[in-house]
Every structure is written in C-alpha cells, then in structure tokens.
Chains A and B, each alone.
Chain A
Amino acid sequence: MDKILTAIFTPAFLFSVIRVSTPLILGSMAALICNRGGMLHIAFEGIMLSAAFFGMLISALTQNVLLGIIGAILGGLLISMMLGYFNLVLNSDKTLTGIALNTFASAGTIFALYLLVQDKGTSNSLPSLTVPNIAIPIIKDIPILGEIISGHNLLTYIAFITVFLTYIIIFRTPLGLRIRTVGENPNAAASVGINVLKVRFITLAISAVIASLAGAYMSMGYLSWFSRDMIAGRGFMSIAAQNLGAALPLPSLLASLAFGAVTALANVLQTLNMPSEIIQAMPYVATLIGLGVFGYVGKVSNRKRSKAVLGSAKMREGGNA
C-alpha cells in the first residue's frame, strides 16, 4: 500500500495522468460538440483510428509533421462525412452505421498497413514522425509544477486549448448558438430560417477535426507508430466522459482526467507486481461505474421533479376540499 501511495504522489504520476488523458480530452470535446448539435454518434472510434493511421502515413511519406496532422484530420473527416451522408441524407440509423464505420476503419487500416509494411501489427518499419514535446519556458524550471505540466506533447497542450475553444465555439459564437438550437429544437431553428442540415454537417465536421487530433496524438505522440485497433475503446470512453460532464466543457475535461487517472494508476500498479490483466480492466470498469452513477443521479432528480408535481396536486386537492 505504501508503495502505491509513494508511486502516486510523485510529479511523474501526475505527468502521466495528463499524458494518458490527452486523447480522452480531445475525444470528449468532439463528442460534446456532437451532443450539443443533436448528432452524438459512436463512430469516434473509427474517426480516431483513421486519423491515427493517416497521420502516421502522411508524416512518413512527406517527412513533415504538420502535413501529417493535416492528413490525420482528412482521415478523420472521411469517416465522419460518410456518417453524415448516410445518416442525414440517406436516413440511416446512426448507431448501426457507426458500428459498420468502426469496422470499416478497423479493417481498412489493417488492410492498408499490411500493404505498406507487410505487417498487420504495427507500422514500426515506416519512418513516421512524432509531434514534438514542448518544454514551457520559466514554468519548466519551477520544481514539481514544472515536472508535471512542462515537457508534454504539443498535442497535449492543444487538447487543453481545445477545451477552451470548445467553450468559445459552443457558448460564445453565433454558430454555437445555432448548433445548440438545432440540437435541442430543430423546428425552432428552421422556423427562424436556419439551415438545419448545413448546421448538422458543420457540427460533424468540427467534431471530427477535434477527434482526429486525438487520433493523431495516438500514433504521433503517445506512441511513435500506428498499431492495429490502437484506439482500444477510447472513442467510447470519450462519449462516456462527456456524458458524465453533462456536455459541459470543464466537467467533461475533469471526467476525462478522472478516467486518465485510473489508467495512469493502472500503469503504476502494473509495475508493482499486481496482475496486469485486472489492472488493465480498471479504466473500463471505472467508466461503467461512471455511467451507472450518472444514470442513477439523473433518475433520482427526475423522480424528485415528478414527486414535486404530484405534491402540488395533493395540495391543490386539499385546497379544493
């Protein structure tokens, strides 16, 4: 137990929390924007995977990190626009299409990987690039704090900036107002002349760009290669995180960090001779518990509300009698 505590209360642990949380932070912001626009879907897994692959590929081909990131974004947009087309234009079920697109992305990336390197596991043999780590001037020299928040991958800092940007986009721009209107009451949006279909596509696109950054981080930061199915449920955990965060940026960030902390803890415990399988399951169990708690809280508050209504009914009856 002591060992665990000493392992947790170190700057290195908090550093790793931030590191493993990065894709969840980006993913939850992507999911949040979709949720606000009434377009929450489950293809984030596929979007991230496709982005991770194309990021790796383009950076290896061009030897340019920026082009790699752009490639990742295009890779993510490809999946999300397919979802948009089939769901919004051809009226298909969002969830079933999402399942199929995730399969499509998984198989497609392995397929292409094999063609490239004759290996279905990883892209190790390709000279892909990583996004650089950044040492923040001044802060890096502060003891402890510097160790925790300096020296992260550039995309990690972008993730935190994205939280702020998400807040701005959703709550401080005319577009955000329209996204929320379309999400909550499409009829109201249409009645004041807003093009609902267009706003929905924009919602999908913005969210896909953010999710793609999460994918890029996986193959160009967290790891320096692409490996098959490397997203490993992070797309779904992102959805859960923004659920727990009630589709608000800051709470969703905190939920992502909480999931990240469990993962980081699992990584620490693994070095301490605990059975690694049980530990690896921890983040998923934590997510399940989170979903349950969130649902329970929602249910209780609903019941309270309806009880209040019933109560006033009784009161009025008393008044009549």
Chain B
Amino acid sequence: MNRNIEKQFQILRTLLAVAIAIAVAFTIICFISDNPIETIKSFVLGPLTSKRKIGNIITNLTPMLFVGAGVCLIFSANQTNMAVEGGFFVGAMFASVVATCVKLPTGIHVIACLIAGGIAGAMACLIPAFLFVKFNAKPVVSSIMVNNMCLFVALFVINHLIRDPAAGFLASYKFAKTSRIGEMIPGTGIHYGILIGITVLIITFLYLNKSKAGYEIRTVGRNVEFARYSGINVNSVIIKAQLLGGILAGMGGAVEVLGMYKRFQYQSLTNHGFDGIMIGIMANYNPKMLPLAALFLAYIRAGADSMQRTSDVPVELANIMIAVIVIMIVAEKFLYKMKHKRIVAAAQKKLEEKEAA
C-alpha cells in the first residue's frame, strides 16, 4: 500500500514539475511576446505542422538516447561524471577522422566510425573515473575539466589535421559517402541512427536491469558498503560503468555527425552531454523511462525552435524549462508533507479495518 502511494507520488511529482515548468514558460511568453496566443500555439503545435518538423523531433531525440543511456549507467553507479559532454564531442571528432581519412566499404565504414567514437568517448569518461579510484579526486570537478580539454583537443585535430581549406569556414573535409548514416524516411531528416539508438537503449536496459553486471552497478550506486559486504569488487564496477557510459556517449557523437552533417563543423561544446544528464535525472536513471524524458525534451526543444522562428522568444526557453523540472524532481521534500499525510491516513485506515475485523 505504501509502495503504491510512493509510486503515485513519484509520478505526481514529475507531472507537477512538468506542469510548473510549462506554466513558467507560458508566463514568460505572455510577458515578452507581442502575440502570446500565437506564440504559445507555435510552441505547442509548431513541431507537428510539417513532416520535416516532426522529423526534427526525432533527429533531436536520436543523440539523446545514446548519451542518456550512458548517463543511466554512470549515474546508477552513483558517479557524478559529467564527461559525457566531452565524450560526445571527442566521439564525434574520432568518428570524423575515420570518416574522412579511412577508406572502407559501405556499412563497415559506419561501424568503424562508431567504434572509433566509442573508444574516444570511453577515454574521456575514464579520466575522471581513474582520478577517483586511484587518487580519490571527486569526478564532479575533474569531469568538467575533461570536457573543456576534450573541446580543445578535438578542435585541434579538426583544424589542423583534417581541415578542409576549401570549405570556406572552419570545418573538416567531407565525410566519405560510405561513412554517412543514411536518411531513413525521405524528407524528414530522420536517419538510421534512431534505430541504432533504440537498439542501444534496449541493450542498456537489459544490461542495467537484467544482467549480473547491471545488478552490481545498481547495488554499488545505492549502497557501497552493502556491495562490499556482499563481496562485490566496488572499484572495478565503478570503472566499468564509466567505461561503458563513455562508449555510449562517444557513439552518440559519432551517430550525430554522421547522420546529420556532411562535415565536422562544431566550434564549441554541443550540450548533448548535459541534455543526457538532464533526461537521465528525469527518468531516474532507468532506461525504460528514458525515451519518454528524451521525447519530452526533444519536443519542447522543437517547439521552442518553431517559436523562435515565428516570434521573438528564443529557443533557450526549453533549457530553462528542463532545468526547472530537474530542480523540482530532485527536491526530496517537494510534496513530502502531502505524501506523508497520505501514508499516515492509509496506515490509520488499515488499523481501523483490522480493528473492525
């Protein structure tokens, strides 16, 4: 009975957080837009007005699935390693190098790029992991340093090794045709990366929730002392979770550039890592809930995008909303009093029933 109340309240809390975020967004729109009704309409319905725009939601969502899955692994082990951001970036870079410099047949080339991206992402996420295990340096600060380092290392490679002087702007050579991830539904921009993403997410779900390694990760994350008492090798589990999380983040970077662009042309960090962290928190690090969270973020981002085109409200509104939601979701005592009252009432009812019987 208490369990149901707790579950209900977790859902209620998330819904309420979302509702508050939407209310905040609408209020802001009302204040700054000349035509609030139209703007809100564009925000809410804009993403559905054309095939292309619906496609945008899916392409927004695609990289989130990879990074979000990686975050589920890392954060489930209670490691606040934010190097998924840098991992995504160097993953994109490594994949670009393989996509421009290596000649391979179609299909195999893509796989090679994904592997390269995964390796790069893993290296990024392992730096904070090792600093923690070997030197007891908390990953929170070190991972941010790694992100910045990744940015510049990747830019160095792009600008000095595979830069195309003929491009007219700072960008790599064009990716080989064999390495590109093709469009899946013509005219939508949706590429096969979404299928890879869904596969990755399913595998992550099975791994984290149904395998012995996943059991270890979750146990270490929830209670390290208990894990040690039960005989789990805590350090190796911590490293493993971050290694795999980094691979997924790096693969996400690879899929994103190969599916969406002809060249590597980022000049700053892309925020995909933090998107992954945000939806990871929203989904409570459960891969099962992740698509919902990702869809929500992708949708409001597409909505904000369409709103920015038709009005004067910038797209960052989406990030403000997601931040508000996360802030409220992690607040343990948000709605606590209400929940407590319900639990007490339920207990009393049970007691009365017992007495009556």
CA distance A105 to B215 in the complex (A): 36
Of chain A, the residue at the smallest CB distance from B156 is A277
Of chain B, the residue at the smallest CB distance from A237 is B145
Determine if A95 is an interface residue (Cβ-Cβ < 8 Å). yes
Decide: B330 and A292 in contact? CB cutoff 8 A: no
CA distance A115 to B333 in the complex (A): 35
Of chain A, the residue at the smallest CB distance from B308 is A114
Determine if A315 is an interface residue (Cβ-Cβ < 8 Å). no
Rounded to whole Å, the gap between the CB of B334 and the closest CB of chain A is 5
Rounded to whole Å, the gap between the CB of A118 and the closest CB of chain B is 8
Decide: A281 and B153 in contact? CB cutoff 8 A: yes
Decide: B316 and A103 in contact? CB cutoff 8 A: no
CA distance A296 to B130 in the complex (A): 12
Known interface pairs A91-B331, A292-B137, A299-B136; A107-B145 also in contact (CB < 8 Å): no
Of chain B, the residue at the smallest CB distance from A83 is B327
Instruction: Tell me which of A42, A101, A115 contacts B140 (CB under 8 A).
Output: A42
Mark out the residues of chain B between 1 and 52 whose CB falls within 8 Å of any chain A CB in the assembled complex. Answer: 32
Instruction: Tell me which of B142, B156, B316 contacts A107 (CB under 8 A).
Output: B316
Known interface pairs A236-B141, A281-B153, A299-B135; A115-B330 also in contact (CB < 8 Å): no
Known interface pairs A233-B148, A295-B131; A100-B326 also in contact (CB < 8 Å): yes
Instruction: Tell me which of B32, B136, B145, B319 contacts A298 (CB under 8 A).
Output: B136
Instruction: Tell me which of B281, B320, B327, B336 contacts A86 (CB under 8 A).
Output: B327
Decide: A277 and B332 in contact? CB cutoff 8 A: no
Decide: A288 and B142 in contact? CB cutoff 8 A: yes
Decide: A91 and B140 in contact? CB cutoff 8 A: no
Rounded to whole Å, the gap between the CB of B199 and the closest CB of chain A is 28
Hey, which chain A residues are within 8 Å of B147, CB to CB? 233
Mark out the residues of chain B between 298 and 347 whose CB falls within 8 Å of any chain A CB in the assembled complex. Answer: 312, 314, 316-320, 322-324, 326-327, 330-334, 336
Mark out the residues of chain B between 115 and 142 whose CB falls within 8 Å of any chain A CB in the assembled complex. Answer: 127, 131, 134-137, 140-142
CA distance A260 to B226 in the complex (A): 43
Instruction: Tell me which of A86, A99, A236, A288 contacts B274 (CB under 8 A).
Output: A99
Determine if B144 is an interface residue (Cβ-Cβ < 8 Å). yes
CA distance A132 to B67 in the complex (A): 45
Determine if A216 is an interface residue (Cβ-Cβ < 8 Å). no
Decide: A240 and B141 in contact? CB cutoff 8 A: yes
Residues of B within 8 A of A (CB-CB), count = 47
Hey, which chain A residues are within 8 Å of B327, CB to CB? 82, 86, 92, 97, 100-101, 104
Decide: B314 and A110 in contact? CB cutoff 8 A: yes
Decide: A115 and B314 in contact? CB cutoff 8 A: yes
Determine if A66 is an interface residue (Cβ-Cβ < 8 Å). no
Decide: B316 and A277 in contact? CB cutoff 8 A: no
CA distance A292 to B312 in the complex (A): 47
Of chain A, the residue at the smallest CB distance from B158 is A277
Hey, which chain A residues are within 8 Å of B316, CB to CB? 107-108, 110-111, 114, 120
Hey, which chain A residues are within 8 Å of B32, CB to CB? 115
Known interface pairs A92-B331, A100-B326, A277-B153; A291-B141 also in contact (CB < 8 Å): yes
**Top 9 nearest A-B pairs by Cβ distance?**
A295-B135, A107-B319, A277-B156, A104-B323, A281-B152, A90-B331, A114-B314, A100-B326, A111-B316
User: What are 28 A-B contacts defined by CB distance under 8 Å?
Assistant: A82-B327, A86-B327, A86-B331, A90-B331, A90-B332, A90-B333, A90-B334, A91-B333, A92-B330, A92-B334, A95-B140, A97-B327, A99-B281, A100-B278, A103-B278, A103-B319, A111-B314, A233-B144, A233-B145, A236-B141, A240-B145, A277-B152, A277-B156, A278-B153, A284-B149, A288-B142, A291-B141, A295-B136
Residues of B within 8 A of A (CB): 32, 80, 82, 127, 131, 134-137, 140-142, 144-149, 151-153, 155-156, 159-160, 274, 277-278, 281, 312, 314, 316-320, 322-324, 326-327, 330-334, 336
A284-B145, A285-B145, A291-B145 known; 4 new pairs, CB 8 Å cut-off, are A96-B80, A101-B327, A110-B314, A295-B131
